[in-house]
């Protein structure tokens, strides 16, 4: 495991797909396009998360309870969220953008920033850079890279779902993207940030409800009206947060795009003989998978900072939780604790067929751990692991699929033999 420096860029483009999860569902089920549709929340299935334009027209709003939404729109079609699918589609979108620029910063599902510094030599003026981004997105929709099949496969969303903005800094490019038409782009020239932002509504700023209310009581409706106020007067009313808001509105801040570091994750997976819904068994399986992932030789000398658990459920649904550890750790209990808390708070909506744990970000360990990682015994173990990995890959290539598994005891008290044990993919 090596530390990779972050790439940064002042020039920014923003690629945005509104209601990304809902669009993914509509792409998988085209018949939903003509119906009022709502996604229930991934963390609270009693409330509506995202709503289609037809549902919004009927009065349904995000955050409503399901009963309130159905009362307003009896024809409402409710869909269970599939977070693993959304995450996979967003990864494909990022892969398509990565063919245009090496500096990609994902912000949320359906929203990503692209660093554009240095691309002038490849593409030319900003208009050409934006055209390359739009071309990459369209090629992703078709599943090609312009010459051959795209490595990230097709991106199954309706054509022209994305919007692109270009400007100096992330905030300007984001506001530009929100003003673009579907499939089109808005370009803010360097030096024209203040003029462009002046006409934008106050809601474009990252405001909490109280600050938004107070500004409107002062008669401030646009970013230009806020920027016209003396900076120190805004600071005296709203503190340090007010200074940042004023500078964003005036186009004085150009937040840099910070390229993501995509480390190779450590993955441990478990396939159940029969789908499992018992909470205790899932907790036990999480412990087993975390323990196995911690034994991976690539983890030696590093502590886990971000851990994810995802599950494939019956009937094609999925479940996904992610936890960032405030204090990175190599202790199984500390790593498992936030996952177990989220499992209790928002359990899978169905029986689990396959459970996967991933370590996706790491922090350096102590000096003792680093020394241990370079220990001769650790090196010998790593060599044996490499030999086993090579043999396993050769078997997979010859037989077209992996036939190597660990058999572990998960429910020894069960009367059913197929419930006593589970298969874990053997990945040396």
pLDDT of amino acid 390: 75
Domains, the chain, in order of start with CATH, read: 1-35+75-262 (3.30.70.270), 266-372 (3.30.1490.100), 388-425 (no CATH)
Which two three-digit tokens encode residue 358? 């991933």
CB–CB of 24/42 below 8 Å? no
Hunting for tokens 């106020």 — which residue is that?
229
| Digit-coded pLDDT (tens) for 339-372 | 999 999 889 988 999 999 999 988 887 544 444 4
pLDDT of amino acid 92: 85
In degrees and rounded to multiples of 5, residue 125 shows phi and psi of -65, 165
118-122 long-range contacts (CB < 8 A, ≥24 apart) are 118/9, 119/11
Neighbours of 68 (CB within 10 A): 15
Q: Are β-strands 421-425 and 352-364 bridged in parallel, bridged antiparallel, or unpaired?
A: unpaired
* Bridge partners, residue 406, by sequence: 424
CB–CB of 103/7 below 8 Å? yes
pTM of the model: 0.73
| Digit-coded pLDDT (tens) for 230-285 | 999 999 999 999 999 999 999 999 999 998 766 688 999 999 988 999 999 999 99
Which residues of the chain have a pLDDT value below 50? 2-5, 147-154, 367-376
pLDDT of amino acid 153: 43
Half-sphere exposure of 203 (CA within 13 A, CB side): 2
Distance CA 114, CA 116 (A): 6
pLDDT of amino acid 391: 75
Which two three-digit tokens encode residue 418? 């197929």
Distance CA 1, CA 364 (A): 9
Q: Are β-strands 11-16 and 163-168 bridged in parallel, bridged antiparallel, or unpaired?
A: antiparallel
Tell me the CA distances in angstroms from 94 to 11, 104, 105, 270, 325, one per residue in order: 18, 7, 9, 28, 25
pLDDT of amino acid 47: 93
pLDDT of amino acid 309: 96
pLDDT of amino acid 151: 42
Average pLDDT, the chain: 85
């Amino acid at each position: 495991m090596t530390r990779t420096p972050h790439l940064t860029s002042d020039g920014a483009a923003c690629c945005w797909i509104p209601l990304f999860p809902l669009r993914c569902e509509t792409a998988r089920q085209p018949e939903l396009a003509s119906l009022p549709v709502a996604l229930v929340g991934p963390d609270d299935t009693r409330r509506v998360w995202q709503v289609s334009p037809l549902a919004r027209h009927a009065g349904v709003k995000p955050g409503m309870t399901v009963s309130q939404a159905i009362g307003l729109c009896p024809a409402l079609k409710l869909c269970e969220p599939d977070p693993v699918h959304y995450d996979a589609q967003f990864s494909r979108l990022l892969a398509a953008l990565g063919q245009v620029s090496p500096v990609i910063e994902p912000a949320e599902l359906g929203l990503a920033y692209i660093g554009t510094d240095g691309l002038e030599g490849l593409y030319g003026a900003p208009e050409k850079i934006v055209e390359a981004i739009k071309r990459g997105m369209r090629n992703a929709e078709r599943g090609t890279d312009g010459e051959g099949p795209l490595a990230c496969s097709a991106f199954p969303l309706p054509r022209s779902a994305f919007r692109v903005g270009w400007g100096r800094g992330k905030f300007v490019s984001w506001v530009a993207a929100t003003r673009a038409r579907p499939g089109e782009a808005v370009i803010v020239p360097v030096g024209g940030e203040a003029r462009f932002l002046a006409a934008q509504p106050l809601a474009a700023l990252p405001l909490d409800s109280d600050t938004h209310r107070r500004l409107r009581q002062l008669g401030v409706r646009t970013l230009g009206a806020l920027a016209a106020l003396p900076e120190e007067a805004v600071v005296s009313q709203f503190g340090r947060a007010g200074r940042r808001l004023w500078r964003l509105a005036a186009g004085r801040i150009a937040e840099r795009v910070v390229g993501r570091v995509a480390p190779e994750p450590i993955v441990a997976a478990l396939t159940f003989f029969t789908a499992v819904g018992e909470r205790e068994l899932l907790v036990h399986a999480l412990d087993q998978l975390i323990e196995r992932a911690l034994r991976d030789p690539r983890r030696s000398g590093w502590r886990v900072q971000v851990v994810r658990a995802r599950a494939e459920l019956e009937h094609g649904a999925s479940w996904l939780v992610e936890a960032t550890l405030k204090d990175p750790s190599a202790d199984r209990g500390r790593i498992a604790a936030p996952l177990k808390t989220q499992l209790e708070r928002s359990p899978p909506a169905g029986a689990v067929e396959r459970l996967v744990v991933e370590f996706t970000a790491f922090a350096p360990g102590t000096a003792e751990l680093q020394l241990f990682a370079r220990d001769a015994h650790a090196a010998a173990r790593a060599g044996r692991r490499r030999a086993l990995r090579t043999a396993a890959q050769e078997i997979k290539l010859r037989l077209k699929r992996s036939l190597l598994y660990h058999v572990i005891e998960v429910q020894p008290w069960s009367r059913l033999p197929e419930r006593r044990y589970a298969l874990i993919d053997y990945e040396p």
